[in-house]
């Protein structure tokens, strides 16, 4: 050790005990404290007063050497660059008070606990862990907001699958709900990872750089076998949407999956803000409700800690479906129904957004709705759901086509559900229409308009019935 006069400050743990070099169980209990955090062991010596560019370059290289993920390297580098830009001075002059003022600046700018936590982790990694400075000592990571997970019901999942207007979108939504995969894991899925013999999907290097297996939904097995014909094992199941040479070796982006779920949610008229991660929540919650062991759910989801899995199944554990006290006051409801001052109930309305809030879309033709009772529905089922076959007639100045295969029914009072066939089944009919019409059929606004027209027609038919 150096002399007491030149010795550096002793680094201590949060319990005020000094750092010691681990020497095993046979080490003497009164071993001397050693200051092992010397500038010679740092990634870059801040005593040499490096420039911000040199500092960032060394930190970036060290994170790559330590095999940080690409997203962590990107976010940490951006955070370090951000605080140095705010600080306006070399990195060796940064101290604990400067870090506190920077975090206060982020709070005043409206940043949330999650973003502030990432910024603090980046500063702690770069200055404390890699350069042995105590600029974050005593600073705790902000506590995130506790929010309940948004879990879709089984009926909403069914409506979401029916509303997906392409075979690819139906498959993406179905696999995320049926396997519990993350959206990034779904996007990078290759044909070699699907084991048809064992009915499993191999998830390579998921979150935490861990491999795992998930169960392949049986109803998608024939479809995947048909789609895999002529495909190489290295090909992506969901390739990039771009064409040409740019599509080689690229898969669909998570943003495209999010957009597909949003469109299906809008068409189905679901008010909940469902996202691809909501399907993962629904998989865990519904599996737990069906009696699956939480340890198996943990393994399938790829969680290291059981506490993380518990967050997903909290909704299933904390059930609130006990009878409401208001439901026991049956006489109050009867009195209100007998009162002449109570207005009659309104016709069923769609759960989609009001037309005034929707963005106006230029017209490319006219739309007409044809309907008839579904022959497959018996009298009892039709009386309950009004299950109807719908045909959409698209007409322009000199052309028209008919889109068939749509089923409409009221799954519950006021909630209209549309079962849409894959858009690929309409390719022959749409091929004769102008390109503007073909593009419009692929947009969510077209199905919103069709949903409104179908709802009006079914409501008029219901009012004419005796």
Q: Which residues are catalytic?
A: 182, 207, 277, 280, 303, 312
Q: 295, 306 in Cβ contact below 8 A? A: yes
d(CA 402, CA 441): 12
Both tokens of 2, joined, read: 């150096």
Cβ–Cβ < 8 Å for 237, 245: no
Conformational region of residue 302, where left means phi above 0, alpha means psi within -120 to 50, and beta covers everything else? left
Q: Minimal CA–CA distance to 251: which of 164, 161, 180, 191?
A: 191
Residue 202 belongs to what H/E stretch? strand 200-203
Write out the two tokens for 46: 């801040």
- Cα–Cα distance for residue pair 198/41, rounded to 1 Å: 51
Which contacts of 128-133 are long-range, i.e. CB under 8 A and separated by 24 or more positions?
130/42, 130/43, 130/44, 130/59, 130/62, 131/42, 131/43, 131/44, 131/45, 131/46, 132/11, 132/37, 132/38, 132/39, 132/41, 132/42, 133/46, 133/94
Residue 454: count of CB within 10 angstroms of its CB:
21
SS3 for 210?
A: coil
Q: Which tokens go with 405?
A: 């295969």
CA distance 258 to 274: 9
Buried b / exposed e along 109-130 (16+ C-beta atoms within 10 A): eebeeeebbbbbbbbbbbbbeb
Sheet holding 415-419, edge to edge: 366-373, 388-395, 400-412, 415-419
Q: Is the dihedral of CA 211, 216, 220, 221 positive or negative?
A: positive
């Amino acid at each position: 050790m150096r002399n007491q006069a030149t010795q550096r400050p002793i680094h201590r743990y949060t319990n005020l005990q000094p750092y010691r070099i681990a020497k095993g169980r046979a080490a003497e209990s009164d071993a001397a404290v050693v200051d092992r955090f010397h500038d010679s062991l740092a990634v870059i010596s801040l005593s040499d007063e490096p420039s911000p560019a040199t500092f960032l370059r060394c930190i970036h290289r060290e994170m790559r050497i330590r095999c940080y993920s690409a997203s962590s390297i990107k976010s940490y580098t951006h955070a370090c660059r951000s605080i140095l830009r705010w600080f306006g001075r070399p990195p060796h002059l940064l101290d604990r008070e400067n870090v506190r003022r920077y975090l206060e600046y982020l709070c005043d700018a409206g940043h949330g606990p999650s973003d502030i936590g990432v910024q603090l982790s980046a500063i702690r990694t770069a200055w404390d862990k890699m350069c042995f400075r105590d600029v974050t000592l005593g600073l705790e990571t902000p506590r995130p907001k506790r929010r309940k997970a948004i879990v879709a019901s089984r009926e909403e999942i069914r409506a979401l699958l029916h509303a997906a207007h392409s075979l690819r979108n139906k498959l993406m939504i179905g696999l995320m709900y049926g396997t519990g995969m993350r959206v990034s894991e779904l996007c990078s899925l290759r044909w070699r990872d699907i084991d048809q013999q064992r009915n499993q999907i191999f998830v390579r290097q998921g979150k935490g750089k861990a491999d795992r297996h998930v169960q392949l939904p049986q109803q998608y097995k024939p479809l995947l076998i048909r789609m895999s014909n002529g495909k190489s094992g290295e090909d992506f199941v969901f390739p990039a949407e771009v064409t040409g040479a740019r599509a080689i070796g690229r898969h669909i982006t998570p943003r495209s999956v999010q957009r597909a779920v949003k469109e299906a949610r809008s068409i189905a008229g679901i008010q909940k803000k469902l996202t691809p991660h909501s399907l993962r929540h629904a998989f865990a919650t519904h599996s737990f409700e069906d009696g699956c062991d939480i340890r198996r759910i943990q393994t399938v989801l790829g969680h290291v800690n059981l506490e993380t899995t518990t967050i997903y199944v909290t909704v299933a554990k904390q059930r609130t479906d006990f009878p409401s006290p208001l439901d026991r006051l049956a006489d109050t409801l009867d009195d209100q129904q007998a009162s002449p001052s109570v207005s009659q109930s309104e016709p069923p309305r769609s759960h989609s957004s009001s037309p005034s809030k929707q963005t106006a879309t230029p017209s490319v033709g006219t739309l007409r709705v044809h309907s008839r009772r579904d022959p497959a529905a018996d009298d009892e089922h039709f009386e309950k759901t009004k299950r109807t076959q719908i045909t959409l007639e698209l007409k322009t100045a000199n052309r028209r086509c008919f889109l068939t295969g749509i089923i409409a029914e009221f799954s519950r009072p006021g909630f209209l559900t549309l079962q849409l066939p894959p858009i690929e089944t309409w390719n022959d009919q749409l091929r004769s229409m102008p390109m503007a019409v073909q593009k419009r059929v692929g947009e969510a606004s077209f199905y919103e308009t069709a949903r409104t027209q179908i709802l009006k027609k079914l409501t008029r038919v219901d009012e004419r019935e005796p």
